[in-house]
Amino acid sequence: MTDNEYRKMYDKDPLKAQTALFDEYLGYVYAIVYNKLRSCGSSEDIEECVGDVFSAVFISYDRSGSFDGDLKGLIGTIANRTAIQMYRKLVRHSDTVYIENETAELADTENVEENAERSVLKNTLLKLINSLGQPDSDIIIQKFYYNMNSKEIADKHSMSPASVRMRCSRALKKLKELLANEGYEMKEGNI
Amino acid sequence: MNDKKKIGFDILENSDINTIEEIGTGKMNIDKNARERMLKNTMNKYEAEKKRLGIAQDTTSENNENADSVTGVEVYERRRLPHFIYIGLCSAAAIALTIGSITMLNRRKPDAPEIQTPVAQVTSTAATTSTGISTTTASSKEAVTVIAAATETSAASAKDTTAATTTAADRSDKTGGDTETAAGNTTSDTTVSAAYTNPHTDRTDITQEELDAAAVRAVKQLINDNDGFKNPNVAQPDPTLGVMLRYAFYDVNGDSVPELFIRHNYALGNAYMYVYDGNDYVTARFNGHDMNGNETVQETVLSVVEAFSADNTIGMMGHQGGSQSFILYMGDDNTITPLYEYTLYRSYKDGRLSEEYTYDGDLGKFGEFLDMYRSYGERELNWIEYDLNEN
């Protein structure tokens, strides 16, 4: 959906336009929010944050009458910022007293070398996961990144949960072999 | 030393948007209910924020009509949707109630006594029965049995102890010769074996690794419980083979949690079926009848325990021409109900005594049972050999 398409639809029926935009970008927004909050928030927190994001997007349009520039980019930016705000709120409510100092320290002493290494690791892992091919790569991501259970994955792939468990087990074994070939070892705590 | 770098899925946390897109934003499975919830939440927040910022007033000149229609449509949708759901639910409930009532009436046989609890055995030879009350006193002092009131009422009119626990319907089905084996052994023939509820789990996040580990634990426990495994020389039928043990997973009842089958050849061999309780594989049980016709809780352990090709069914067969054999039905919730039971003196169908006979040395009666047993067809499982040296 482009800015123009949204405007035309909005002029005819605002609710319909908002629902269409919501449906088109729900997965995108959810993934961004999930990525930020997965370590500290519940699924309710994530859903709450998704609501905040779309509400902010709709308000943004209502105030200016258009989306400035790339619609997807705007939604991504709002989602990212809203998720970070929610993350800070959630962490502050937990027992982590020094989070503000810690965040500041991280920002100040940004370790370029460490970030670069982390980026390489990310790319390597994603490359190897993708090399597993479909649907194994999807199953691995859904299982270990999105924390979906076997039944949810099974529903998405029209498989039985038992088949998903079996495929996942084999794919993980293969992924470990691929990582070993690249000189890495899978952390057991992640499995 | 292992100098490999450690890597885990946590490396993907806090990825930038490009990486998130590479991971795949479409891979997130958002179900319809979650989507509805989030949309509703979004619109509530949006409306509240609009009011707070006064946007509705600012846009009155241009969008007043649209703004009203948004609110109006939302309210309208809210009212209409529950109405349809309400009608749908009422219709479904009415249909379910009708079908359920018809099914219940069809299944319920008029002569079937109402048994609320499994009946324990009476082994006395001269029992006197009190009328209309749920206790039976045995004069020989060997046993006292509690029998459900419904059975007792019909039994109360019986003149002799042999028939004392036999319902009127059962008596009419029997021939005169039946009393030969029944004499001196009043039984719980009138009982219908209730489904036995085994442990069950609703977990949907069970991994194959978890099941593998639970299976190995069950195998190790089995080995520890049988000292003979530590002495391979006693393995039979061929001691030269040594003791062998293997296990297999198979989902008998289609609840997506596989049952565990174990077989070994120690001491003429035995087979087992376990159910998963969410943490461990535990022995499954069912209400069956022993050789004396007494209803007892039995375990799914016998010379042969096998999954049948027919859905939700397993078979169990004993040594020596099936001195005791079963065809069992397993429900989705791990309940087990006997469909057919064979013993040397009696056979049962759906938990109810169907035939009583003297022991047939030629195993003719067993032959009849065996034909039926075979008609279910054994299902081939993927067996995993367990290395007993690991234990």
CB pair distance less than 8 Å for A125 and B9: yes
Q: Residues 54..93 of A with a Cβ closer than 8 Å to B: which? A: 54-56, 58-59, 62-63, 76, 80
The nearest CA of chain B is from the CA of A89 a distance in Å of: 16
Q: What is the CATH number of the domain that holds A83?
A: 1.10.1740
Looking at residue A11, its pLDDT comes to 85
Query: Exposure of B357 by Cβ count < 10 A (0-12 exposed, 13-18 middle, 19+ buried)?
Result: middle
Last residue of a domain, one of A61, A92, A123: A92
Counted domains in chain A? 2
Question: Does residue B313 surpass a pLDDT of 90?
Answer: yes
pLDDT-derived band at B391, boundaries 50, 70, 90: low
Measure CA of the first residue to CA of the last residue in chain B; give whole Å: 28
Domain with A85 in it:
3-92
Domain boundaries, chain B: 208-386
Domain final position from A37, A59, A92: A92
CA distance B342 to B348: 7
Q: Domain holding A173: CATH number?
A: 1.10.10.10
Out of A26, A58, A92, a domain closes at A92
Q: Are B75 and A81 in contact (CB under 8 A)?
A: no
| Contact (CB<8Å) A23/B4 | no
Rg of chain B on CA atoms, in Å = 31
Per-residue pLDDT, A111: 64
Establish if A149 touches chain B: CB-CB under 8 angstroms: yes
Coil, strand, or helix at residue B256? coil
Same domain, A12 and A87: yes
Span B368-383, average pLDDT: 85
A189 within domain boundaries: no
Angle between helix A161-181 and helix A136-144 axes, rounded to 10 deg = 90
B7 has a chain A CB within 8 A of its CB: yes
Chain A contact present for B102, CB below 8 A:
no
> What value of ipTM does the predicted structure carry?
0.73
Confidence of residue A110 (pLDDT cuts 50, 70, 90): low
- What is this structure's pTM? 0.39
Q: Please check whether residue B19 touches A, CB under 8 A.
A: yes
A41 within some domain: yes
Question: Domain check: are A69 and A121 in the same one?
Answer: no
B250 close to A (CB below 8 A): no
pLDDT (tens digit per residue) in A57-102: 888 888 777 776 678 888 888 888 888 888 887 776 555 444 444 4
Q: B50 in contact with A at a CB cutoff of 8 Å? A: yes
Instruction: Give the gap in angstroms from C-alpha A145 to the nearest C-alpha of chain B.
Output: 7
Taking CB atoms and an 8 Å limit, are A148 and B29 in contact across chains? yes
Chain B (196-235) residues lying within 8 Å, Cβ to Cβ, of chain A? 204-209, 211
Closest chain B residue to the Cα of A62, Cα to Cα: B55
Tell me, yes or no, whether A117 and A41 share the same domain: no
Question: pLDDT value at position B137?
Answer: 37
Residue A49 lies in a domain: yes
Q: pLDDT digits over B99-138, tens only?
A: 887 777 776 554 444 444 444 444 333 333 333 333 333 3
**Which of helix, strand or coil describes residue B292?**
coil
CA B104, distance to chain mean position in Å, is 21
Lowest-pLDDT range, A51-60, A170-179, B161-170, B260-269?
B161-170
Closest-CA residue to B203 (of B214, B217, B188): B214
Mean pLDDT of B207-230: 84
